[in-house]
Amino acid sequence: MNILGLDIGGANIKASLIDQGKLKNKYMQYYPIWTKDLSLLPDIIKEVSTKVIQGQDIEAIAVTMTAELSDAFYTKREGILKISKSLREAFYDMEDKIYFINIFGEFIKFNTVLKYPLQVAAANWVATSKYVGLFYKNCILIDVGSTTTDVIPILNGKPVCLGKTDPDRLLSGELVYTGVLRSEIPSITHYVPYKNKNCRVSSEKFALSADVHLVLGHISEDEYTSDPADGREKNKKDSLARISRVICADIEMLSKKEIMTIARYIYEQQIAQIQVGLMQVFNRLRSSYVVDFKNFLIIITGIGAEFLARKAAKRYGFKKIINLNEILGENGGIVAPSAAVALLLEQKLIKR
């Protein structure tokens, strides 16, 4: 059966088409919801879905979302209701076949979302971790996206998280607010090396993590999907210029070698941020459960799986690290929440 999976984020909308436990099609579109006319949201949801469905009939739609956190909405409740109603408008003939996953790992329908909207707030990590738990019973899932990183402990096939809300997940280390594309440099580090000293950085939005990863070769220009801080081109020359601005300089004041040294340092600090979250989560597991450190498994996914998640896990000392692409297929991890929520719904409907 064809199941459409949607992950509606504040910066990206991800879509997957699932059939018989396999990821058939996937698509991700950069869509900064805070800059858009919200009345057009049903149209963009339909447009993204059409690119994945490609004219095929679908039996059901599985949804998760994080866009409610965007300051396009005054409260998360407002955001969830707007997104949910946009989905209903986009799929007006399939309202009874739209399923939302909640923070408890249950699928609920539109009317229940209207009554308890906060149940579906930022539940994308639930979908991915529940799906991973079907294959790997004891592990930690690290999902590095464009904006944030999830660090989800899984035991006996189920997520054992301390936090259900974003603030609680930030407290527990299960949510690290750093990502491949959209993180501003002062959120990663307050100092960078310059003239063999620690130089303070400007608090301005001069450059983003995307610039760092582009000049270091971690992402391609096509993968630089977010908007550059200065609105210029998404190429290495302009990224070097943006990074130089971090210490209030420019490409005439700094050599390429000096800028690359700054970029490498920012990258190392971003790895360290994820490593701290991983350490916090694993130390709780080790103190609360009988966990064998040497053989404990780490599952990585997302656009930053290899150059951020794997690096953080290795530096902490983990040896067994598996990319979720081994299950979802090539680059499937980039749309992991939308694929996972659809795969889980397919299982539920088959068992019914």
Q: Give 16's Cβ-side CA count (13 Å radius).
A: 29
Q: Please choose, from the candidates 106, 99, 149, the residue with its C-alpha nearest in 3D space to the C-alpha of residue 126.
A: 106
Tell me the three state secondary structure of residue 322: strand
pLDDT in tens, 238-249: 999 999 999 999
CATH number at residue 285: 3.30.420.190
The total domain count for the chain is 3
Contact 141, 132 (CB under 8 A): yes
Does a structural domain hold residue 186?
no
CB atoms within 10 A of CB 343: 24
Percentage of residues in the chain having pLDDT higher than 90: 95
pLDDT at 29: 96
Q: Average pLDDT of 214-228?
A: 97
pLDDT in tens, 114-162: 999 999 999 999 999 999 999 999 999 999 999 999 999 999 999 999 9
286 vs 179, which has greater pLDDT? 179
Is the same domain home to 24 and 50? Answer: yes
CATH number at residue 33: 3.30.420.40
DSSP string computed for 102-135: -TTS-EE-HHHHHH-GGGGTT-HHHHHHHHHHHH
pLDDT in tens, 198-209: 999 999 999 999
pLDDT in tens, 17-36: 999 999 999 999 999 999 99
Is the same domain home to 35 and 102? Answer: yes
Phi and psi at residue 177, to the nearest 5°: -85, 70
pLDDT at 330: 86
Taking 80 as the threshold, does the pLDDT of residue 344 lie above it?
Answer: yes
Is the same domain home to 30 and 66? Answer: yes
Is the same domain home to 44 and 169? Answer: no
Residue 283 and residue 280: Cα distance in Å, rounded?
A: 5
Taking 70 as the threshold, does the pLDDT of residue 290 lie above it?
Answer: no
pLDDT in tens, 47-79: 999 999 999 999 999 999 999 999 999 999 999
Is the same domain home to 241 and 277? Answer: no
Taking 90 as the threshold, does the pLDDT of residue 291 lie above it?
Answer: no
Taking 90 as the threshold, does the pLDDT of residue 292 lie above it?
Answer: no
Instruction: Using CA atoms of 127, 128, 130, 133 in order, give the dihedral in degrees to the nearest 10.
Output: 170
Residue 196 and residue 210: Cα distance in Å, rounded?
A: 25
pLDDT at 277: 98
Does a structural domain hold residue 320?
yes
Is the same domain home to 85 and 42? Answer: yes
pLDDT at 114: 96
Taking 80 as the threshold, does the pLDDT of residue 43 lie above it?
Answer: yes
Is the same domain home to 203 and 76? Answer: no
Is the same domain home to 195 and 244? Answer: yes
Residue 225 and residue 236: Cα distance in Å, rounded?
A: 14
pLDDT in tens, 101-110: 999 999 999 9
pLDDT at 286: 85
Which range, 50-59, 279-288, 294-303, has the best average confidence (pLDDT)?
50-59
Is the same domain home to 67 and 53? Answer: yes
Taking 80 as the threshold, does the pLDDT of residue 167 lie above it?
Answer: yes
Domain that holds residue 309: 136-180+271-328
**DSSP category for residue 202:** P
